[in-house]
């Protein structure tokens, strides 16, 4: 067993143009004031991190870490969610995802993909320079438009999509292996890796690559009606990161999992601030402690109702109260009478 580290905060939802969210020094001071001990940093947020410098310079990375530690905060991981998304984009989403990339590659799918791959590789290098052994990413998606098909999918379509996805990620995973960094794919709707089965399909195609791991976020599983506690049992060895995010699913006679194209506040399934939803976090933290999870419990604030700054402050306290400081002794050790092999044999009636 192991005590989980935390609380940490994913900064992606808080970065902005106004203080204290417009610089790394200010946002880490703010996070510390909310009660956080760590921050997960989106590598594409130029106001927080210069990714080119971080990928090339340990000195710069030491300075960045030093800024955080001056406020009592550690960098938990880097995230390349948006860049990972662009490693594999179905043409139906070209226009929607172009906004994630710089203007110089928009409208050119091949150039955009090359830029995204370079960004992920630099995030791997920056992670290594920061002394981190894991990073977060989305997988991207080629098969997602065919999730619930009509007409039926032609034979081999999904297999071809996963073959192509694996071919794009295999060199990146090999580079990650050379730098001692795991890539933790967030298992997320909209990505081809959106549940356990699809993650296994990917693993099969990258030869069970040791650097391919999961970012576990129970909110996405609850909204899919997937057993998120059993998922921890099944994938304990592959789970490298945890996002602590709440959700609720309240189907009606008019609406279910798909949400009826409604805005978040009107969906049957919606994300909520920690403690306001239906996720069994006591069960999750118990399982994480039992399986010896060695990472951080990182709050990802997404809520259809509550103000983000309130959600952040409440989230730090919520995680702190749920982390289990694991015991170093059995509760009944006080009754241990001592034993040896001869005594054990006598207790079993086996003689000398």
Does 352 map to a domain?
A: no
Q: What is the pLDDT of residues 40-98, one digit of tens each?
A: 999 999 999 999 999 999 999 999 999 999 999 999 999 999 999 999 999 999 999 99
Query: Which residues are within 8 A (CB) of 328 and not within 5 positions of it... i.e. 6 or more apart?
Result: none
**Dihedral sign computed on CA atoms, order 149, 154, 158, 161:** negative
Does 131 map to a domain?
A: yes
Q: How far is CA 178 from the centre of its chain?
A: 22
CA distance 84 to 81: 5
Q: What is the pLDDT of residues 138-148, one digit of tens each?
A: 999 999 999 99
| 141-153 burial code (b ≥16 CB/10 A, e <16) | bbbbeeeeeeeee
Does 77 map to a domain?
A: yes
* Neighbour tally for 41: CB within 10 Å: 30
**Based on the structure, what is the number of domains in the chain?**
1
- Domain of residue 272, residue span: 5-347
Domain harbouring 224, CATH code: 3.20.20.150
Does 210 map to a domain?
A: yes
Tokens of 315: 């989230």
Does 306 map to a domain?
A: yes
Does 279 map to a domain?
A: yes
Q: Considering the entire predicted model, what is its pTM? A: 0.95
- The residue among 298 and 347 whose pLDDT is bigger is 298
Split at pLDDT 50, 70, 90, the class of 332 is: confident
Cβ(148)–Cβ(200) below 8 Å:
no
Nearest residue to 123 (alpha-carbon basis) of 179, 184, 55, 181: 55
Helices and strands, number each (H, E), in the chain: 13, 10
Cβ(204)–Cβ(259) below 8 Å:
no
Q: What is the pLDDT of residues 179-195, one digit of tens each?
A: 999 999 999 999 999 99
pLDDT more than 70, % of the chain: 99
């Amino acid at each position: 067993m192991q005590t989980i580290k935390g609380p940490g905060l994913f900064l992606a939802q808080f970065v902005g143009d106004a203080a204290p969210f417009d610089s790394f020094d200010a946002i880490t001071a703010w996070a510390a004031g909310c009660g956080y001990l760590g921050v997960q940093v989106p590598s594409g947020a130029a106001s927080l991190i210069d990714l080119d410098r971080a990928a090339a310079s340990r000195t710069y990375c030491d300075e960045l870490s030093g800024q955080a530690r001056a406020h009592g905060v550690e960098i938990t991981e880097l995230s390349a969610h948006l860049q990972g998304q662009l490693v594999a984009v179905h043409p139906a989403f070209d226009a929607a995802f172009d906004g994630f990339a710089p203007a110089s590659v928009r409208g050119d799918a091949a150039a955009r993909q090359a830029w995204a791959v370079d960004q992920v590789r630099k995030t791997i290098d920056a992670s290594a320079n920061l002394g981190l052994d894991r990073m977060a990413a989305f997988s991207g998606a080629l098969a997602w438009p065919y999730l619930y098909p009509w007409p039926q999918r032609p034979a081999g379509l999904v297999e071809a999509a996963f073959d192509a996805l694996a071919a794009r990620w295999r060199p990146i995973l090999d580079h990650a292996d050379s730098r001692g960094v795991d890539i933790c794919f967030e298992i997320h709707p909209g990505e081809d890796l959106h549940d356990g089965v699809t993650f296994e399909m990917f693993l099969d195609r990258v030869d069970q690559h040791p650097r391919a791991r999961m970012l576990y976020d129970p909110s996405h599983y609850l909204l899919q009606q997937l057993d998120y506690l059993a998922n921890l049992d099944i994938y304990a060895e592959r789970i490298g990161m945890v996002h602590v995010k709440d959700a609720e699913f309240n189907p009606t006679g008019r609406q279910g999992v798909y949400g009826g194209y409604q805005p978040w506040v009107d969906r049957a399934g919606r994300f909520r601030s920690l403690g306001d939803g239906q996720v069994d976090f006591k069960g999750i933290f118990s399982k994480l402690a039992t399986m010896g999870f060695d990472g951080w419990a990182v709050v990802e604030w997404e809520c259809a109702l509550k103000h983000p700054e309130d959600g952040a402050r409440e989230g730090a306290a919520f995680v702190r109260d749920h982390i289990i400081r694991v015991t170093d002794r059995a509760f009944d050790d006080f009754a241990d009478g001592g034993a040896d092999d001869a005594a054990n044999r006598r207790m079993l009636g086996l003689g000398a």
